[in-house]
Amino acid sequence: MIDNTYSFNIEAKVVLAILVSKLYSIISFTRVCYKIPQNCENKSLYASLMLLVMSNTINTVYIVCFFIFYTVYCRLRVFVEKISIRGNKILIQKSLDVYKAILDALDKVKKSFEFLFAAGLVFQSPLLVIGVYFYLWKMKENNEILFDDIVIEIARVLILLLAPAFSAGLLTSKAEELKQILQDRLLSERDEPHSSAIKLFLDYMRGRPMKFTVFESIPLDWSLLVIILNLCITYQIAMVQLTHLF
Protein backbone atom coordinates (compact mmCIF):
# COMPACT_ATOMS: atom_id res chain seq x y z
CA MET A 1 0.00 0.00 0.00
CA ILE A 2 2.82 2.38 0.83
CA ASP A 3 6.04 2.54 -1.11
CA ASN A 4 9.17 1.25 0.49
CA THR A 5 11.41 3.79 2.20
CA TYR A 6 14.21 2.91 -0.21
CA SER A 7 12.31 4.61 -3.03
CA PHE A 8 13.07 7.93 -1.32
CA ASN A 9 16.77 7.12 -0.78
CA ILE A 10 16.44 8.03 2.91
CA GLU A 11 19.59 6.17 3.96
CA ALA A 12 21.68 7.92 1.29
CA LYS A 13 20.31 11.31 2.30
CA VAL A 14 21.09 10.69 5.98
CA VAL A 15 24.65 9.63 5.22
CA LEU A 16 25.16 12.60 2.87
CA ALA A 17 23.81 15.10 5.42
CA ILE A 18 26.07 13.73 8.17
CA LEU A 19 29.12 13.72 5.89
CA VAL A 20 28.46 17.33 4.83
CA SER A 21 28.09 18.31 8.49
CA LYS A 22 31.40 16.64 9.41
CA LEU A 23 33.16 18.21 6.43
CA TYR A 24 31.88 21.65 7.38
CA SER A 25 33.11 21.19 10.96
CA ILE A 26 36.58 20.20 9.79
CA ILE A 27 36.81 23.14 7.37
CA SER A 28 35.51 25.57 9.99
CA PHE A 29 37.97 24.30 12.62
CA THR A 30 40.84 24.59 10.13
CA ARG A 31 39.88 28.17 9.23
CA VAL A 32 39.81 29.18 12.91
CA CYS A 33 43.25 27.63 13.51
CA TYR A 34 44.60 29.43 10.45
CA LYS A 35 43.20 32.85 11.40
CA ILE A 36 43.78 32.59 15.17
CA PRO A 37 46.72 30.16 15.71
CA GLN A 38 46.75 30.66 19.50
CA ASN A 39 43.35 28.95 19.71
CA CYS A 40 44.94 25.74 18.45
CA GLU A 41 47.88 25.57 20.79
CA ASN A 42 48.29 23.47 23.95
CA LYS A 43 45.26 23.64 26.25
CA SER A 44 43.27 25.79 23.83
CA LEU A 45 43.57 23.04 21.24
CA TYR A 46 42.13 20.42 23.59
CA ALA A 47 39.25 22.72 24.54
CA SER A 48 38.55 23.47 20.88
CA LEU A 49 38.63 19.78 19.96
CA MET A 50 36.27 18.91 22.81
CA LEU A 51 33.85 21.62 21.69
CA LEU A 52 34.13 20.32 18.12
CA VAL A 53 33.29 16.76 19.19
CA MET A 54 30.31 17.93 21.26
CA SER A 55 29.06 20.10 18.43
CA ASN A 56 29.36 17.26 15.91
CA THR A 57 27.48 14.91 18.22
CA ILE A 58 24.61 17.38 18.57
CA ASN A 59 24.64 18.00 14.81
CA THR A 60 24.28 14.28 14.13
CA VAL A 61 21.42 14.01 16.63
CA TYR A 62 19.50 16.84 15.00
CA ILE A 63 20.09 15.44 11.53
CA VAL A 64 18.69 12.08 12.67
CA CYS A 65 15.72 13.84 14.33
CA PHE A 66 15.00 15.67 11.08
CA PHE A 67 15.04 12.47 9.06
CA ILE A 68 12.77 10.65 11.52
CA PHE A 69 9.96 13.03 10.61
CA TYR A 70 11.04 13.32 6.98
CA THR A 71 10.83 9.54 6.52
CA VAL A 72 7.29 9.46 7.92
CA TYR A 73 6.37 12.46 5.77
CA CYS A 74 7.52 10.64 2.63
CA ARG A 75 5.41 7.62 3.51
CA LEU A 76 2.36 9.74 4.35
CA ARG A 77 2.74 11.72 1.12
CA VAL A 78 2.41 8.54 -0.97
CA PHE A 79 -0.50 7.47 1.21
CA VAL A 80 -2.32 10.79 0.66
CA GLU A 81 -1.69 10.69 -3.10
CA LYS A 82 -3.32 7.26 -3.33
CA ILE A 83 -6.38 8.32 -1.34
CA SER A 84 -6.80 11.51 -3.39
CA ILE A 85 -7.07 9.64 -6.72
CA ARG A 86 -10.60 9.90 -8.01
CA GLY A 87 -12.34 6.57 -8.25
CA ASN A 88 -9.80 4.93 -5.98
CA LYS A 89 -11.67 2.34 -3.94
CA ILE A 90 -9.00 2.15 -1.27
CA LEU A 91 -10.38 0.56 1.88
CA ILE A 92 -10.71 3.23 4.56
CA GLN A 93 -10.22 0.79 7.42
CA LYS A 94 -6.82 -0.17 6.04
CA SER A 95 -6.03 3.52 5.66
CA LEU A 96 -6.91 4.08 9.30
CA ASP A 97 -4.66 1.18 10.27
CA VAL A 98 -1.78 2.77 8.38
CA TYR A 99 -2.37 6.17 10.01
CA LYS A 100 -2.48 4.53 13.44
CA ALA A 101 0.69 2.52 12.70
CA ILE A 102 2.55 5.72 11.77
CA LEU A 103 1.58 7.41 15.05
CA ASP A 104 2.39 4.28 17.05
CA ALA A 105 5.86 4.15 15.48
CA LEU A 106 6.46 7.81 16.36
CA ASP A 107 5.27 7.24 19.92
CA LYS A 108 7.88 4.51 20.37
CA VAL A 109 10.72 6.98 19.76
CA LYS A 110 9.00 9.95 21.41
CA LYS A 111 10.80 9.80 24.78
CA SER A 112 14.23 9.32 23.25
CA PHE A 113 13.57 12.05 20.72
CA GLU A 114 12.38 14.51 23.37
CA PHE A 115 15.49 13.98 25.48
CA LEU A 116 17.86 14.32 22.52
CA PHE A 117 16.08 17.36 21.11
CA ALA A 118 15.99 19.11 24.49
CA ALA A 119 19.69 18.32 25.08
CA GLY A 120 20.53 19.80 21.69
CA LEU A 121 18.40 22.85 22.40
CA VAL A 122 20.18 23.44 25.71
CA PHE A 123 23.57 23.14 24.00
CA GLN A 124 22.86 25.02 20.76
CA SER A 125 20.74 27.94 22.04
CA PRO A 126 23.60 29.50 24.09
CA LEU A 127 25.88 29.12 21.06
CA LEU A 128 23.36 31.05 19.01
CA VAL A 129 23.11 33.85 21.58
CA ILE A 130 26.89 34.03 22.06
CA GLY A 131 27.42 33.96 18.30
CA VAL A 132 25.15 36.96 17.75
CA TYR A 133 26.82 38.82 20.64
CA PHE A 134 30.26 38.06 19.22
CA TYR A 135 29.05 39.31 15.83
CA LEU A 136 27.91 42.62 17.38
CA TRP A 137 31.21 42.94 19.25
CA LYS A 138 33.15 42.40 16.01
CA MET A 139 31.08 45.08 14.32
CA LYS A 140 31.79 47.55 17.11
CA GLU A 141 35.52 46.84 17.00
CA ASN A 142 35.62 46.86 13.17
CA ASN A 143 37.42 43.54 13.45
CA GLU A 144 36.86 41.45 10.34
CA ILE A 145 38.72 38.35 11.62
CA LEU A 146 36.29 35.38 11.57
CA PHE A 147 33.49 37.79 10.62
CA ASP A 148 32.17 35.58 7.81
CA ASP A 149 32.70 32.46 9.92
CA ILE A 150 30.49 33.86 12.69
CA VAL A 151 27.65 34.64 10.27
CA ILE A 152 27.85 31.14 8.75
CA GLU A 153 27.96 29.53 12.21
CA ILE A 154 24.88 31.46 13.36
CA ALA A 155 23.02 30.33 10.24
CA ARG A 156 24.16 26.72 10.75
CA VAL A 157 23.01 26.59 14.37
CA LEU A 158 19.66 28.18 13.50
CA ILE A 159 19.06 25.74 10.63
CA LEU A 160 19.91 22.75 12.82
CA LEU A 161 17.61 23.93 15.61
CA LEU A 162 14.72 24.38 13.19
CA ALA A 163 15.29 21.32 10.98
CA PRO A 164 13.31 18.78 13.10
CA ALA A 165 10.49 21.30 13.60
CA PHE A 166 10.42 21.96 9.86
CA SER A 167 10.05 18.28 8.96
CA ALA A 168 7.48 17.79 11.76
CA GLY A 169 5.58 20.79 10.38
CA LEU A 170 5.55 19.22 6.91
CA LEU A 171 4.12 16.05 8.44
CA THR A 172 1.41 18.01 10.26
CA SER A 173 0.49 19.88 7.06
CA LYS A 174 0.25 16.63 5.12
CA ALA A 175 -2.03 15.16 7.79
CA GLU A 176 -4.28 18.21 7.50
CA GLU A 177 -4.35 17.69 3.74
CA LEU A 178 -5.43 14.08 4.32
CA LYS A 179 -8.21 15.27 6.62
CA GLN A 180 -9.46 17.69 3.95
CA ILE A 181 -9.48 14.94 1.32
CA LEU A 182 -11.50 12.65 3.59
CA GLN A 183 -13.98 15.42 4.32
CA ASP A 184 -14.45 16.07 0.60
CA ARG A 185 -14.95 12.35 -0.06
CA LEU A 186 -17.48 12.16 2.75
CA LEU A 187 -19.63 14.81 1.05
CA SER A 188 -19.78 12.84 -2.19
CA GLU A 189 -19.95 9.36 -0.67
CA ARG A 190 -23.26 7.53 -1.14
CA ASP A 191 -22.30 4.13 0.26
CA GLU A 192 -23.36 4.03 3.93
CA PRO A 193 -20.70 1.57 5.23
CA HIS A 194 -17.99 3.47 3.40
CA SER A 195 -19.33 6.78 4.72
CA SER A 196 -19.31 5.44 8.28
CA ALA A 197 -15.69 4.28 7.85
CA ILE A 198 -14.68 7.76 6.66
CA LYS A 199 -16.41 9.36 9.67
CA LEU A 200 -14.58 6.96 11.98
CA PHE A 201 -11.27 7.87 10.32
CA LEU A 202 -11.97 11.61 10.71
CA ASP A 203 -12.97 11.15 14.36
CA TYR A 204 -9.72 9.27 15.00
CA MET A 205 -7.68 12.02 13.34
CA ARG A 206 -9.37 14.67 15.48
CA GLY A 207 -8.77 12.65 18.62
CA ARG A 208 -5.18 11.84 17.69
CA PRO A 209 -3.84 14.59 15.43
CA MET A 210 -0.32 14.65 14.00
CA LYS A 211 0.87 17.54 16.13
CA PHE A 212 4.14 17.21 17.98
CA THR A 213 5.66 18.85 21.04
CA VAL A 214 8.72 18.30 23.21
CA PHE A 215 7.78 17.64 26.85
CA GLU A 216 4.32 19.03 26.09
CA SER A 217 5.71 22.58 25.99
CA ILE A 218 7.95 23.16 22.95
CA PRO A 219 5.97 23.01 19.68
CA LEU A 220 7.55 21.26 16.73
CA ASP A 221 6.18 23.44 13.95
CA TRP A 222 6.78 26.80 12.29
CA SER A 223 6.16 28.67 15.57
CA LEU A 224 9.44 27.33 17.00
CA LEU A 225 11.31 29.94 14.92
CA VAL A 226 9.41 32.74 16.67
CA ILE A 227 10.13 31.22 20.09
CA ILE A 228 13.86 30.88 19.38
CA LEU A 229 14.10 34.42 17.99
CA ASN A 230 12.24 35.86 20.99
CA LEU A 231 14.54 33.96 23.35
CA CYS A 232 17.68 35.11 21.55
CA ILE A 233 16.57 38.74 21.34
CA THR A 234 15.66 38.81 25.04
CA TYR A 235 19.01 37.39 26.19
CA GLN A 236 20.87 39.46 23.62
CA ILE A 237 19.42 42.69 25.01
CA ALA A 238 20.29 41.58 28.54
CA MET A 239 23.91 40.73 27.57
CA VAL A 240 24.40 44.02 25.73
CA GLN A 241 23.08 46.00 28.70
CA LEU A 242 25.13 44.10 31.28
CA THR A 243 28.37 44.39 29.30
CA HIS A 244 27.70 47.95 28.09
CA LEU A 245 28.56 46.90 24.57
CA PHE A 246 26.93 49.97 23.08
Cα-to-chain-centroid distance, residue 139: 31
pLDDT at position 5 is 43
User: Is the pLDDT reported for residue 183 higher than 80?
Assistant: yes
Domain count, the chain: 1
Containing structural domain, residue 32: 5-243
CA distances from 7 to 2, 11, 82 (A): 10, 10, 16
Q: pTM surpassing 0.85?
A: no
User: Is the pLDDT reported for residue 90 higher than 80?
Assistant: no
The single-letter DSSP state of residue 191 is: -
Cα-to-chain-centroid distance, residue 128: 16
pLDDT at position 203 is 92
What secondary structure does DSSP assign to 25-43, as a single string? HHHHHHHHHHH-GGGGSHH
> Is the Cα dihedral 49, 53, 55, 59 positive or negative?
positive
- Distance between CA atoms of 132 and 153, rounded to whole angstroms? 10
* Better pLDDT: 198 or 150: 198
- CB-based contacts of 161, cutoff 8 Å, min separation 6: 62, 120, 121, 124, 125, 128, 224, 228
Q: Decide: 144 and 166 in contact? Cβ < 8 Å.
A: no
